[in-house]
Amino acid sequence: MADGGRALVLGGGGITGIAWEWGILSGLAEAGIDLYGADLVIGTSAGSLVGAQVASGVDAETRYQVQLAGAGGEIPARVSRAVMARWAWAALRSRTPAQAGARIGRLALAARTAPEAERRAVIESRLPVRHWPDRPLKITAVDAVTGAFTVFDRATGVSLVDAVGASCAVPCVWPPVTIDGRRYIDGGVRSPANVDLAAGYGGVVVLAPSTGGFGPIAGVGRQVAALRRAGGRVAVISPDRRAREAFGGNSLDPGRRAPAARAGRAQSPSVAEAVAAVWEGA
């Protein structure tokens, strides 16, 4: 049974996902719903960037306004259909998440991408606070060689910038991140939001720009159902039609950041009641 406490889970979804999450968070804060009071913050991929700042107490409205400022210093990128097909084929041939992770990891290690140091500088520029917060924060990644699921937190001794960079290392788009001699790729390779890490918490709010899974990669719905069976109260917020239109066809397009943020802010009133019911009742 869930034993109480509140967890905020922030899933992956590229640059547009980051912007949308800040839009949702700032809109909910304006409505008096403070998700910054979470006892645990879990971040995967795009959600690791947002989660690191939430756990550090960085103001949601300030970060929302940053999203509206435009593309900034981002490196434009795209996940091609060919890359997505290779990911899907690797996963569908696998029986376990680790096996899928290792196969996708091999693709990532062989791909030509921007230099690791260049990508790290982008991640660092997105983090106004670059040390682990006191509030419990878990950041997910996958070992590119073994496919093992990895969870970084303050106790691991890994720098926050490197942990976030690993979680955001989209296979075949960005370089795997080197930490203590090992290479790591995006935590979304294991699951879009890794909601199961919130097991045991009485109230769980999930912001999931992407929800689907395939093969052994568990979608958000499957993991949420398991939490609910165990007695947890869970609210899942995913993009509405307006937000999906704002995202466009490329979640890594910096030019879509401002529209995605505005769409999240516009969506927040429609989800406030469901979020408050879980958050305030936990």
Helices 97-110 and 81-92, interaxial angle, to 10°?
140
Residues 84/88/90/96 CA torsion (nearest 10 deg): 130
Question: Residue 230's Cα: distance from chain center in Å?
Answer: 24
14: left (phi over 0), alpha (psi -120 to 50) or beta: left
Q: Helix or strand or coil: residue 40? A: strand
Active site residue 45: yes
Active site residue 251: no
Question: Residue 244's Cα: distance from chain center in Å?
Answer: 17
Q: Helix or strand or coil: residue 186? A: strand
Q: Give the whole-angstrom CA distance, residue 166 versus residue 43.
A: 12
From 26, 45, 210, 268, active-site residue = 45
Q: Give the whole-angstrom CA distance, residue 87 versus residue 82.
A: 9
Q: Please give the backbone phi and psi of residue 41, each rounded to the nearest 5 degrees, phi first.
A: -115, 130
From 26, 56, 143, 186, active-site residue = 186
The residues carrying an active-site annotation are: 45, 186
